[in-house]
Amino acid sequence: MRHADVAVDFPPNSRVMDGVHKIEYQMQPDGKIKLLPLADVGTHMLHMPPQKNIVAAVDANTPSMYTKQPLVLATHPLTRAPNHGRRAIYIVASLLIVAAAVVVVMVRRRAPGRRQT
């Protein structure tokens, strides 16, 4: 197998995640490559690119440029969503009243003994 058999050209602004080498990068419009952080939740590790994260090419040495650190998940309590309960009840009640009014009008129009115009 040759390198040309497995080479893939990615268009500009494509994000590429290499799960084998644990790196992630984005193709830039000028042809350069921006290395991005990659969180591996399976191993609880964060793979961080170097400070100078713009490179000309990704090669076999690129994974060694990344540093690993433990992945720390947020531990703060979740904030409550705003309570829209009353507002939703008012909206549903209004819609039911309008629907009931429409039904009453339709029934009266079709009542026997009344002429439809």
Contacts of residue 26, defined as CB under 8 A and 6 or more positions apart, other chains included, come to: 13, 14, 15, 16, 33, 34, 36
Per-residue pLDDT tens digits for 52-84? 999 999 999 999 999 999 987 656 565 666 666
Sketch the domain layout of the chain as residue ranges: 3-70, 81-112
> For 86-90, what is the mean pLDDT?
81
Asked if the model's pLDDT at residue 20 lies above 80, the reply is: yes
pTM: 0.57
- 24 φ/ψ angles, rounded to the nearest 5 degrees: -140, 145
Confidence of residue 27 (pLDDT cuts 50, 70, 90): very high
Identify the pLDDT of residue 61: 92
Identify the pLDDT of residue 7: 77
